[in-house]
Amino acid sequence: MELYEDFDGDEDTEAGTKLTSPGESLTSSHAFMRGHGTYVEEDEVISSVAGTIERVNKLVTVRALRTRYNPEVGDLVVGRITEVAARRWKVDANSRQDAVLMLSSVNLPGGVQRRKLESDELQMRNFFEEGDLLVAEVQAFFADGAMSLHTRSLKYGKLRNGQLVVVPPILVRRLKSHFYSLPCGVDLILGLNGFIWVSKHVNESEQEGEEGFDAEAVYSNKNDSIEDATRTAISRVCNIIRVLATHYVPLSDTLLVEAYEWAVEQEYGVKDYMQDETADALVSAMTART
């Protein structure tokens, strides 16, 4: 039995990314408490699922590799509108049930804060309609456990000019920020629900509160003109994410920057990452740096 008695760091240590399988002994039940995904047998804490080991103080848990997203208040998520209902939208956020975005929890174009009127309810499809992608924050939970979302900050809202990549939620960890700009002119939104948005870079002058900010574009369904080089960069980043996710490599902005630079140095084409040999070389190069 391998004992993890050297769990002296915080919850973000390498132990949090170590893979385990069902029936594997993790540590002594005398030294640690069992959490979700584990059970105790003969004074040993044993994994009951295949997943990654995480530890908070003396509590040892295993996050399953194959599971739906388990939301917490304050989480940033990327979702897709599935239904427009009375004063609310239903959102697929990769959880056990659809999330809910109330009309009262969105900003009107320009960030106007006011009471929503009946006329606003009649125009709900001008804001979000079925199939639209958005980034939002988990605000609370309803009695049935469904997430209540909000997009009251203009850094949240409808997503355009990019591509969605879906990965296991376990590969995206809770960090201080989930918005990143890569040097290749690509913006990343790492949704904690495993939905990752890769898009054209937005200049600071086009962001909230800056001169030149286009308030009407917040709910626009029209993509901007995207140069071929930017399209290639977006596709390259998406394929890199897919390869790393297939091999269960935890994702971060630093890792993705290194992976992109490595791929450019190797002069691989955008589609080359889908080949087993190239994918294995990429994963080996990235895991050797971590």
The total domain count for the chain is 1
Q: Is residue 30 in a domain?
A: yes
Q: Is 113 helix (H, G, I), strand (E, B) or coil?
A: coil
Given CA atoms 203, 209, 210, 214 in this order, what sign does their dihedral have? positive
**What one-character DSSP code corresponds to residue 274?**
G
Confidence of residue 20 (pLDDT cuts 50, 70, 90): confident
pLDDT above 60: residue 14: no
Identify the residue with better confidence: 91 or 50.
Answer: 91
Residue 32 lies in a domain: yes
Q: Which residues of 48-62 are buried (b: 16+ CB within 10 A; e: fewer)?
A: bbbbbbbbeeeebbb
Calpha distance 113→106 (Å, rounded) = 9
Q: Check residue 40 and give its pLDDT.
A: 92
| pLDDT(1) > 90 | no
Which range is most confident: 43-47, 61-65, 152-156, 214-218? 43-47
User: Is 188 part of any domain?
Assistant: no
Nearest-10 crossing angle of helices 276-289, 228-246: 80
What DSSP line would sit under 183-226, residue for residue? TTTEEEEE-TTSEEEEEE---GGGSTTSTT--GGGGG--PPPP-
Residue 94 in domain: no
pLDDT at 175 over 80: no
> Which residues form the domain of 25?
14-64
Give per-residue pLDDT as tens, 109-121: 655 555 667 777 8
The angle subtended at Cα 175 by Cα 171 and Cα 180, nearest 5°, is 90
Whether residue 233 is contained in a domain is answered as no
Write down the pLDDT at residue 15.
Answer: 37
pLDDT over threshold 50, residue 6: no
pLDDT class of 212 with cuts at 50, 70, 90? very low
280 located within any domain: no
The upper half-sphere exposure of residue 282, i.e. CA atoms within 13 Å in the direction of its Cβ, equals 37
User: Is a pLDDT exceeding 50 seen at residue 289?
Assistant: yes
The first and second tokens of residue 282, run together, are 């990429």
C-alpha distances in Å from residue 236, one per residue of 2, 162, 199, 214 = 39, 12, 12, 28
The answer to the question of residue 42 being in a domain is: yes
**The CATH number of the domain where 22 resides is what?**
2.40.50.100
- 290 pLDDT band, cuts 50/70/90, is low
Continuous segment of H or E residues that includes residue 124: helix 124-127
Which tokens in the block code for residue 183? 């040097």
Write out the two tokens for 254: 């630093």
Per-residue pLDDT of 242-285, as tens digits, reads 999 998 888 888 889 899 989 888 887 888 877 888 888 998 98
CB-CB contact of 194 with 63 (8 Å): no
Residue 211 banded pLDDT, cuts 50, 70, 90: very low
Of residues 45 and 14, which shows the higher confidence score?
Answer: 45
Query: pLDDT exceeding 90 applies to what percent of the chain?
Result: 39
Q: With respect to residue 96, please indicate whether it lies within any of the assigned structural domains.
A: no
Tell me the per-residue pLDDT of 79-118, one tens digit each, with 9 for 90 and over: 999 999 989 999 999 998 999 999 988 887 655 555 667 7
pLDDT bracket for residue 31 (50, 70, 90): confident
Q: Is the pTM of this model over 0.95?
A: no
DSSP 16-84: GG-EE-TT-EEEETTTSEE-TTEEEETTEEEE-SSEEEEEETTEEEEEESS------TT-EEEEEEEEE
